[in-house]
A = this chain, B = another copy of it.
Amino acid sequence: MDQDHLKSLLEQVRSGAVEIDAAIERLRHMPFENLGYATVDHHRAIRTGMPEVIFGKGKTTEQILGIAERLLERASNVLVTRTNEEVAGRMKALYPEAEYFPACGALRVWRDRTMHGKGPLAVISAGTTDMPVALEAVVTAEVMGNDVDQIHDVGVAGIHRLFGNLDRITKARVIVVCAGMEGALPSAVGGLVSCPVIAVPTSVGYGASFHGLAALLGMLNSCASNVSVVNIDNGFGGGYVASLINRL
């Protein structure tokens, strides 16, 4: 039931054309619409500047293009994750401002570049093979209006490299840390700063890394209290949660 129907119903109540009990009965069967109102309003207020997101995995090129077209009619910024060259080519033909990041398969149309983050948001990766996941976090955080500081290849086995960037790390208002293998970097970073750290386990590793399980367990068991975790290889999620926090 949209607002017009509700208004019309109430007008009929006022005019006496509909009995109160009948109106109650009809209202009884429209829970979602009322809910929908609240939700939409609420979101409209908070979601200012949020990009619309399309999860590309498992969708056809046509599906993605169709959804993107619809979203770009009303949204300034659109992010497509886990997509490919073909979609990128088609999108760029339609929206020349579209940027494609082949390393992580992300594509974004970033028109409204208002900054929403209230401070620097750092994205840190342990090794060069973790960089695609980190890049997804960077692309996400940028399109959500953050000034992103990237620090790569500072894993715990060369911990001096981490300390060489201590300055930049301690300046961040919120940090995303991407690491595979033993997943120890978020703990090390978390022990050096007091801000929230979002840990993103990556599926980088050999043998008993079990496609990111070792890193995931390591991060969940972090001895640093300021660490929370998102799914394996979920750079988007890491960038998204960090961006929400950085707006506060």
Closest Cβ neighbor of A63 among chain B residues:
B128
Q: Closest approach, in angstroms, between the C-beta of A130 and any C-beta of chain B?
A: 9
Query: Judging by beta carbons under 8 Å apart, are B206 and A231 in contact?
Result: yes
A215 to B190, CA, bound (A): 18
From A70-78, A90-98, A107-115, A163-171, give the one contacting chain B: A163-171
Closest Cβ neighbor of A188 among chain B residues:
B156
Partner pick for A220 among B34, B195, B207, B246, CB 8 A cutoff: B207
Query: Which residues of B have CB within 8 Å of A57?
Result: 129, 206
Query: Judging by beta carbons under 8 Å apart, are A6 and B24 in contact?
Result: yes
Could you list 16 further interchain pairs (A-B, Cβ under 8 angstroms) beyond the known A13-B13, A159-B191, A196-B245? A6-B24, A13-B14, A14-B16, A35-B166, A38-B170, A156-B224, A157-B190, A157-B224, A180-B221, A195-B248, A207-B231, A207-B233, A208-B220, A227-B230, A229-B229, A248-B248
Query: Which residues of B have CB within 8 Å of A190?
Result: 157
Query: Judging by beta carbons under 8 Å apart, are B183 and A218 in contact?
Result: yes
A87 at the interface (CB under 8 A from B): no
A233 to B126, CA, bound (A): 22
| Number of chain A residues whose Cβ lies closer than 8 Å to a Cβ of chain B | 110
Q: Closest approach, in angstroms, between the C-beta of A151 and any C-beta of chain B?
A: 13
Which residues of A in the span 125-184 have a Cβ within 8 Å of any Cβ on B? 126-129, 155-160, 163-167, 170, 173-174, 180-184
Query: Judging by beta carbons under 8 Å apart, are A244 and B195 in contact?
Result: yes
A105 at the interface (CB under 8 A from B): no
Query: Judging by beta carbons under 8 Å apart, are B219 and A182 in contact?
Result: yes
A120 at the interface (CB under 8 A from B): no
A85 at the interface (CB under 8 A from B): no
